[in-house]
């Protein structure tokens, strides 16, 4: 009976220790049991993060990063010079002023030109396989940096404005936490007062524990783990990182008052708090029809947000520890189809990377005259993932033991694109 | 079990007696649990399933789990057949049933008149999600009338329309999405948004849903694993090219569109219809007769596709098994079957007949249904079958397909066989003998125990409604809207041409937050006058123990353990005997537990 006598005026620390004392939701590394640390912010600064700007649908990189003016595949736009080595689209004038911070890999060559397969492959470094679900970028990072994230009370893998890809065999504890770009996280307000909540959680704990003990499978254990993360988040002041409206008007304006702009701004806030992996989604790139008129609408929103993000990270000294990666599931056909659109194309395309020790302003690789083939060493999703992991200090020789017993290398055994670090 | 209940509620026993009797009661309960399940069914198809599954256990050195308890089986069969947990009355009736045929009896009832409303609604939702996704028709600008499709399916299922007939009606549907229109047809909503861009999605989804073949990538290139080739994709696509969608503004609702699906004469890509408006006709002598030189070719309607190297190829309707319309109608002229004229050939009607005749058709639905009831099909995923992805139980899959065909495509028969089979009746507990049978870590499922899996969002919603009438305070005509809104909060679209989508109702944090603090659970936990909890709390015929037991049976289909009951009594005592608040906390905890959300 003692256990149910709850003190009044419980603060977070009290709440946590109290809850932890009797709780079987706890595993040794349970976030809730940790004291709230005042050094969280300081520690976060030394920690590596990655922001993935995901252009879902497959952006026409031939109209953005590797233009072919004057050829039949060239499209409507002109290239302009940048502060880095190469030229980019005239519709990206703001980013052109920040390209000394980012590099373009123009020799991506992959095989998956279907959305679902491409999304999976570019997020995991593995082609889909019916017998094993591979973890995506964010889950790998969350898993590998786990030991360094003791102060983090919010999820280590956040996906803004889109679904990202799942944790695969690493389990739901490493799943992306999906939020809207307005930063409103639904249902975080408890519906009863703290003492009642404590009682409820203890009852829940009893149930949860009993069912796990019955040994009916991983899903029961995963459920308990997700509950822990949820409780951690519910009581955390770090949730404030999602509140983009707290930013000064000037900052919000510079990123743009758009979904993607707010998402990028939120990504910076999250990285500042120590979240190691944030994905920001900007969809609508499946430009089978009217590619060029649609780009005239899309690229300015994109241009403003990405350039503000990169500049902001650099100004705050966050860029050296934050890897920025911008891509979709594939590129689009150099050939322009009958509807003035471009179709799916994986054979020769470009991505943009920077930060995290990657030297900015470079061009890596090249394609032929009309953009239909890579003429230098081709790079794959595996290589790109190896590069990002390298920049984040994640050991690539580490092998996961996949649940089917097969050893599995991080990033599928890809090779680091060394030119980016030269 | 009734004995235990009686003991708990009885205050006449001296306190010291209770523990002793309680332990006796528990022994009784365990014995009852082991007894759970009925003797093997005599249905030959069920026997067929059991035989194949057992043979594979033997081959793989697996010991099947013991049978699930009556209550466990009852809970899962309600969830899987009618889309919700059983109510306490339904559960108690089943566990009290003495007949050795009790499983069959319950399945017959769930598939019969008594439950037709729950059953057809649940399966209409499942099929709607399969046909247009969870997001289809949700956006203002969508052409899909989701509720019209759902109504069409619900009616079809209620009338026990055979599966082949249902598919024919979906695949060759014509008419308007507008319920006010004379030619209104709810079935057109399957294809209405898949016909743009040369009907690529109509082709891909028809193959995936009805043939269990993932062909979407072969529109651009040969499948990297599947033997399916690019030409096969476009030859299948050619069946959809007489079909057109006209859209019109909805006069009653701003920014909404209505649409009509129809078939028209198709000249072929980049061609015009020539038949009767040629300015010149060339006559040539053939076999001593003067004939129209272009008569046959004139009608043939080709489509074109591009190889990765830029080379252009031509395609005419050819089904995946190589049956071409050209061949089928060769008696009527060399190219008659390739005609784009409707009076010659209605390509979608031809496709419908070829579909239902194909063996892939029956195997695909068997695999889909098996996956529905077991969480895994005979292939992973269940809708990407083919030589690149061999099934775990090929003979069983094949024989079940034939049995389904022999049963005239009766979906209820197929469901009945599956839920009455031995693997469906097994416990979900992992034991040494079946620990290797773990598909979550990549093993091929052998169904030697029942794999736990999470409820779908729809199952959770309907369960809470059935149990607590959580929507009772809402006006009748707003309930459907409320349900839709609740379900929609979990959906995310990728915005790609394949209409891909994801759900956050996947066991991750947003779902946990919804269950902890969201409005639905809040309503289900209401203690207002006349609410579920209020009714139980004030039921004078129930002791406190029985009240708690009632909540447990309602959500978990079991009674609380001794330890749990003690915990609750302690809590109740610490609250000065305040019953309803304590019941509310228990109910909240139960609804948030793994044991509730998982089907086990």
pLDDT by position in tens, chain A (length 422): 222 223 333 344 444 444 444 443 333 222 222 323 333 444 444 589 999 999 999 999 999 999 999 999 999 999 999 999 999 999 999 999 999 999 999 999 999 988 999 999 999 999 988 778 899 999 999 998 888 888 888 999 999 999 899 999 888 889 999 999 988 888 988 888 888 888 899 899 999 999 999 999 999 999 999 998 898 888 888 999 999 999 999 999 999 999 999 999 999 999 999 999 999 999 999 999 999 999 999 999 999 999 999 999 999 999 999 999 999 999 999 999 888 999 999 999 999 999 999 999 999 999 999 999 999 999 999 999 999 999 999 888 778 777 667 778 888 889 999 999 98
Q: Is pLDDT of B318 > 90?
A: yes
Any domain includes A27: no
For residue A4, being part of any structural domain is answered with no
Does A90 fall in a domain?
yes
Do A173 and A199 fall within a single domain? no
Strand partners for B598? B454
Task: Band the pLDDT of B493: cuts 50, 70, 90.
Answer: confident
Q: A-chain residues within 8 Å CB-CB of B518?
A: 186-187
Which of B66, B515, B516 to mutate to test binding with chain A, by most A CBs within 10 Å of its CB?
Answer: B516
- Tell me which of A194 and B369 has the higher pLDDT: B369
Mean pLDDT lowest for which of A196-205, B69-78, B96-105? A196-205
Chain A residues near residue B391 by CB distance under 8 angstroms: none
> Which chain A positions have a beta carbon within 8 Å of B428's beta carbon?
216-217
Q: Tell me the pLDDT tens digit for each residue of A27-69.
A: 322 222 232 333 344 444 458 999 999 999 999 999 999 999 9
Q: Are residues A139 and A274 in the same domain?
A: yes
Return the pLDDT at A93. 98
Q: Which residues does chain A have within 8 Å of residue B600's beta carbon, measured at their own beta carbons?
A: 216
pLDDT score, position B244: 95
Q: What is the pLDDT of residues B281-317, one digit of tens each?
A: 778 888 888 887 776 667 889 999 887 677 889 999 9
B18 touches chain A (CB under 8 A): no
- Domain count for chain A: 2
- Return the axis-axis angle of helices B411-419 and B44-59, rounded to nearest 10°: 50
Q: In this structure, are A198 and A309 located in the same domain?
A: no
Residue in chain B closest to A204 (alpha carbons) equals B589
Q: Do B598 and A119 touch (CB under 8 A)?
A: no
A283 and A196 fall within a common domain: no
Structural domain contains residue A167: yes
- pLDDT computed for residue B265 by the predictor: 93
Confidence band for B21, pLDDT divided at 50, 70 and 90: very low
Q: Which residues lie below 8 Å from residue A51, measured CB to CB, with a gap of 6+?
A: A264, A267, A268, A271, A278, A279, A280, A309, A322, A323, A324, A325
Is the Cβ pair A344, B220 closer than 8 Å? yes
Contact A403 B442 (CB under 8 A): yes
pTM to 2 decimal places: 0.88
User: Helices B562-574 & B544-556, crossing angle to 10 degrees?
Assistant: 120
Please check the confidence at residue B224 and state whether its pLDDT lies above 80.
Answer: no
Q: What is the pLDDT of residue A103?
A: 98
Q: Do residue A229 and residue A375 come from a single domain?
A: no
Task: From chain B, pick out residues whose CB is under 8 angstroms from the CB of A142.
Answer: none
A247's tokens: 């930013």
Q: Are residues A206 and A265 in the same domain?
A: no
Measure CB to CB from residue A229 to each of B438, B504, B509 and give the nearest one. Answer: B509
On whether any CB of chain A is under 8 Å from the CB of B442, the answer is: yes
* Chain A residues touching residue B213 (CB < 8 angstroms): none
Instruction: Using the Cα atoms of residue A57, residue A63, residue A66 and residue A68 in order, give the sign of their dihedral.
Output: positive
* Same-domain check for residues A60 and A201: no
Tell me which residue in A200, A233, A286 faces B509 most closely, judged by beta carbons.
Answer: A233
Mean pLDDT, range B147-164, rounded to an integer: 97
B10: pLDDT strictly greater than 70 = no
Tell me the per-residue pLDDT of B351-365, one tens digit each, with 9 for 90 and over.
999 999 999 999 999
Decide: B593 and A211 in contact? Cβ < 8 Å.
Answer: yes
Q: DSSP label at A5?
A: -
Q: Cβ of B311 under 8 Å from any chain A Cβ?
A: no
Q: Which residues of A touch B567 (CB under 8 A)?
A: 203, 206
Residue A332 pLDDT: 97
Q: Are residues A104 and A201 in the same domain?
A: no
> Given this model, what pLDDT does residue B350 score?
97
For B36-47, the DSSP string reads -S-SPP--HHHH
First to last CA, chain B: 20
B571 touches chain A (CB under 8 A): yes
The reply to whether B307 touches chain A by the CB within 8 Å rule is: no
Q: Is residue A288 part of a domain?
A: yes
Q: Which residues pair with A322 in a beta bridge?
A: A49
Residue finishing a domain among A197, A214, A238: A238
B494/A208 CB distance under 8 A:
no
Q: Is the pLDDT of residue B33 over 60?
A: no
A22 touches chain B (CB under 8 A): no
Cβ of A223 within 8 Å of Cβ of B600? The answer is: no
Chain B residues with CB-CB distance to A185 below 8 A:
513
Residue B492, CB-side half-sphere exposure with 13 Å CA sphere:
23
Q: Give yes or no for B522 touching A (CB within 8 A).
A: yes
Axis-axis angle for helices B196-211, B347-357 (nearest 10): 20
> Is A186 within 8 Å of B518 when comparing Cβ atoms?
yes
User: DSSP state, A412?
Assistant: G
Domain assignment present for residue A24? The answer is: no
Chain B's closest residue to A335, CA to CA, is B310
Both A354 and A397 in one domain: the answer is: yes
Confidence band of B277 (pLDDT split at 50, 70, 90): low
Is A300 part of any domain?
Answer: yes
Residue A18 inside a domain? The answer is: no
- Residue B392's pLDDT band, with cuts at 50, 70 and 90, is very high
Same domain? For A163 and A217 the reply is: no
Last residue of a domain, one of A238, A255, A271: A238
Report residue B583's pLDDT band, with 50, 70 and 90 as the boundaries.
very high
Asked if B197's CB is within 8 angstroms of A289's CB, the reply is: yes
Distance CA A51, CA A42 (A): 20
Q: Are B428 and B451 in contact (CB under 8 A)?
A: yes
Which CATH number characterizes residue A113's domain?
Answer: 3.40.720.10
Mean pLDDT score of chain B, rounded to an integer? 88
pLDDT digit string (tens) for A336-370? 988 899 999 999 999 999 999 999 999 999 999 99
Question: Which domain covers residue A202, as residue numbers?
Answer: 187-238
Long-range residue pairs from A398-402, CB within 8 A, at least 24 positions apart, any chain: A398/A144, A400/A135, A400/A169, A400/A170, A402/A132, A402/A169, A402/B442
């Amino acid at each position: 009976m003692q256990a149910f006598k709850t003190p009044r005026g419980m603060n977070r620390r009290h709440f946590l220790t109290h809850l932890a004392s009797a709780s079987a939701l706890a595993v040794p590394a349970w976030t809730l049991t940790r004291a709230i640390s005042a050094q969280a912010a300081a520690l976060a600064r030394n920690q590596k993060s990655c922001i993935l700007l995901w252009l879902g649908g497959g952006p026409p990189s031939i109209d953005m990063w590797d233009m072919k003016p004057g050829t039949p595949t060239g499209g409507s736009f002109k290239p302009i010079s940048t502060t880095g080595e190469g030229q980019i689209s005239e519709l990206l004038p703001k980013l052109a002023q920040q390209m000394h911070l980012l590099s373009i890999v123009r020799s991506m060559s992959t095989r998956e030109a279907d959305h679902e397969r491409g999304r999976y492959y570019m997020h995991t470094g593995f082609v889909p396989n019916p017998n094993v679900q591979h973890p995506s970028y964010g889950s790998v990072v969350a898993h590998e940096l786990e030991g360094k994230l003791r102060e983090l009370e919010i999820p280590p893998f956040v996906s803004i404005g889109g679904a990202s890809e799942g944790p695969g065999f690493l389990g739901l504890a490493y799943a992306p936490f999906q939020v809207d770009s307005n930063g409103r996280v639904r249902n975080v307000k408890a519906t009863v007062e703290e003492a009642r909540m404590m009682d409820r959680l203890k009852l829940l704990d009893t149930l949860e524990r009993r069912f796990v003990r019955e040994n009916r499978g991983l899903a029961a254990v995963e459920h308990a783990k997700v509950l822990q993360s949820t409780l951690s988040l519910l009581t955390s002041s770090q949730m404030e990182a999602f509140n983009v409206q707290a930013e000064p008007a000037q900052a919000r304006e510079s990123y743009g008052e758009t979904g993607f702009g707010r998402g990028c701004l939120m990504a910076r806030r999250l990285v500042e708090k120590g979240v190691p992996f944030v994905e920001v989604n900007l969809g609508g790139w499946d430009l089978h029809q009217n590619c060029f008129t649609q780009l005239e609408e899309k690229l300015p929103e994109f241009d403003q947000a990405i350039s503000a993000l990169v500049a902001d990270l650099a100004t705050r000294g966050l860029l050296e520890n934050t890897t920025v990666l911008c891509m979709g599931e594939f590129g689009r056909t150099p050939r322009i189809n009958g509807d003035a659109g471009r179709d799916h194309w994986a054979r020769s395309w470009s991505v943009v990377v920077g930060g995290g020790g990657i030297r900015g302003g470079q061009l890596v690789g090249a394609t032929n005259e009309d953009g239909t083939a890579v003429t230098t060493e081709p790079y794959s999703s595996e290589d790109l993932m190896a590069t990002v992991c390298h920049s984040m200090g994640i050991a690539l020789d580490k092998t996961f033991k996949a649940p089917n017993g097969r050893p599995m290398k991080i990033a599928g055994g890809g090779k680091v694109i060394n030119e980016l670090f030269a | 079990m009734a004995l235990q209940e009686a003991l708990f509620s009885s205050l006449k026993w001296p306190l010291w007696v209770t523990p002793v009797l309680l332990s006796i009661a528990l022994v009784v309960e365990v014995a009852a649990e082991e007894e759970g399940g009925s003797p093997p069914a005599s249905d030959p198809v069920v026997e067929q399933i059991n035989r194949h599954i057992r043979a594979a256990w033997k081959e793989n050195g697996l010991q099947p789990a013991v049978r699930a308890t009556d209550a466990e089986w009852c809970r899962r069969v309600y969830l899987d057949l009618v889309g919700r947990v059983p109510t306490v009355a339904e559960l108690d009736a089943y566990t009290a049933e003495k007949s050795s045929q009790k499983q069959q009896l319950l399945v017959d009832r769930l598939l019969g008149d008594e439950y037709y409303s729950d059953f057809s609604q649940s399966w209409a939702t499942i099929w709607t999600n399969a046909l247009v996704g969870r997001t289809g028709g949700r956006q203002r600008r969508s052409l899909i009338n989701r509720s019209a499709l759902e109504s069409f399916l619900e009616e079809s299922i209620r009338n026990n329309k055979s599966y082949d007939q249902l598919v024919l009606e979906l695949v060759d549907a014509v008419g308007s999405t507008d319920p006010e229109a004379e030619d209104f047809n709810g079935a057109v909503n399957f294809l209405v948004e898949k016909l743009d861009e040369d009907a690529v999605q109509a082709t891909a989804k028809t193959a995936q849903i009805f043939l269990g073949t993932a062909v979407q990538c072969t529109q651009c290139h040969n499948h990297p694993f599947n033997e399916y080739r690019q030409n096969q994709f476009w030859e299948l696509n050619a069946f959809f090219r007489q079909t057109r969608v006209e859209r019109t503004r909805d006069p009653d609702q701003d920014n909404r569109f209505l649409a009509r699906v129809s078939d028209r004469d198709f000249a072929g890509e980049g061609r015009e219809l020539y038949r009767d408006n040629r300015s010149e006709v060339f006559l040539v002598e053939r076999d001593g007769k003067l004939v129209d030189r272009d008569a046959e070719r004139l009608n043939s309607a080709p489509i074109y596709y591009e190889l990765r190297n830029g080379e252009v190829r031509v395609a005419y309707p050819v089904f995946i098994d190589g049956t071409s319309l050209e061949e089928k109608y060769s008696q009527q002229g060399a190219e008659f079957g390739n005609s784009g004229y409707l009076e010659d050939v209605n390509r979608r009607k031809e496709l419908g007949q070829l579909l239902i005749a194909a063996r892939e058709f029956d195997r695909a639905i068997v695999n889909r249904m098996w996956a529905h009831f077991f969480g895994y099909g005979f292939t992973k995923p269940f809708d990407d079958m083919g030589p690149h992805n061999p099934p775990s139980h090929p003979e069983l899959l094949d024989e079940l397909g034939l049995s389904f065909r022999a049963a005239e495509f009766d979906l209820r028969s197929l469901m009945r066989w599956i839920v009455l089979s031995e693997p469906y009746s097994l416990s979900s507990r992992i034991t040494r003998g079946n620990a290797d049978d773990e598909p979550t870590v990549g093993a091929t499922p052998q169904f030697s125990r029942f794999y736990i899996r999470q409820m779908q969002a729809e199952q959770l919603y309907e369960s809470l409604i059935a149990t607590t009438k959580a929507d009772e305070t809402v006006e009748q005509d707003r309930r459907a809207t409320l349900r839709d809104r609740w379900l929609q909060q979990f959906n995310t679209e990728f915005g790609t041409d394949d209409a891909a989508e994801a759900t956050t109702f996947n066991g991750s944090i947003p779902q946990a937050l919804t269950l902890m603090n969201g409005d639905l659970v809040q309503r289900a936990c209401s203690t207002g006058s006349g609410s579920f909890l209020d009714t139980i709390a004030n039921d004078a015929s129930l002791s406190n123990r029985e009240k708690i037991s009632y909540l447990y049976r309602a959500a978990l289909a079991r009674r609380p353990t001794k330890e749990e009951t003690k915990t609750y009594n302690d809590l109740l005592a610490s609250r000065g005997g305040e019953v309803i608040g304590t019941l509310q906390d228990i109910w909240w905890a139960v609804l948030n537990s793994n044991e509730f959300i998982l089907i086990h």
